[in-house]
Chain A
C-alpha cells in the first residue's frame, strides 16, 4: 500500500537557519503530495501541495518540489523563524482514495 517516510525529530535549529525536512513516498500511480503543519494546541493546516511531477508548492516562505524520479517531496525554507516551531507532516493522496496517507511527523524547534 501507499506509505510516506519522513525524517523524525525533533529537529532543532537556530533562527534564520536553512531548513530541510526530507520526505519520500511509495504509491501506485500518480499521487498528489502535501505538507501539513500543526502548531501547538491547534489542528493540522495545509501548508502547501503539488499535484504532478515537477510542480513546486510554496507558502509562507516554505517550498517543496514533487520529484517523481526520486519519489520525494522535501520541505525547505531559507530562513526559519521562532514562529515556525511546529510539527510538520508529509502526506499523499493516491488516485481515487478518500483518505490521506501521512508520515509520522517531524517536530521542528526553532531557538532564538
Chain B
C-alpha cells in the first residue's frame, strides 16, 4: 500500500513568487491534514480536510495561504506571494477516520524562500 506522498520534496523560490505543494493521501483516507515546521520551532497544525471540506483551518497563518482538496482526493497548498518567513518543512498527513492512532505522515516538502 502506498503511503502519503508529497511533492516536490524540495522547492527553492524567491520572495514574491508563488509555490504550490501537493499531497496525495493514502487511498480511502477521508481526513487530510497540513502541518508546518519552521526551522527551530515546533511543528504547527495548519488545517484539516474531511473529504473536500475544510473542517478546521484555524492554523492557517494568513490569506497568502490557500489549501484545496477538490474531489476529496489529493490536496494542494498554495503560497502566494511567498515571504521569507514561509520557509520551512510542510507536512501532510492522512487518516481513515478522525483519530490520532491512524495518522500517517508524508516525508514533507522543504520550502526555502530566498
Contacts and interface: CB of A to CB of B under 8 A. Distances in A.
A104 B40 contact: yes
A44 interface: yes
Interface stretch (B10-18, B42-50, B65-73): B42-50
A46 B103 CA distance: 8
Given A34-B100, A42-B107, A43-B106, A100 B42 contact: no
Where chain A touches its partner, the secondary structure class is strand
Nearest to B98: A98
Given A99-B33, A99-B56, A41 B43 contact: no
Interface string B19-50: 00000000000000101010011111110100
Nearest to A103: B42
Contacts, number: 60
A77 interface: no
Given A43-B3, A44-B91, A98 B48 contact: yes
- From A49, A93, A102, A103, name the one whose CB has the most chain B CB atoms within 10 angstroms: A102
A25 B33 CA distance: 22
Interface residues of A, number: 22
Interface in A82-97: 89, 91, 93
Nearest to A42: B107
A43 B4 contact: yes
Contact of A102 (B3, B33, B40, B43): B43
Given A44-B93, A91-B43, A100-B35, 17 more contacts: A41-B107, A43-B3, A43-B91, A43-B93, A43-B108, A44-B91, A44-B105, A45-B105, A98-B55, A98-B58, A99-B33, A99-B56, A100-B100, A102-B44, A104-B40, A105-B37, A105-B43
Interface of B: 3-4, 33, 35, 37, 40-46, 48, 55-56, 58-59, 91, 93, 98, 100-101, 103-108
Interface of A: 4, 32, 34, 36, 41-46, 49, 89, 91, 93, 98-105
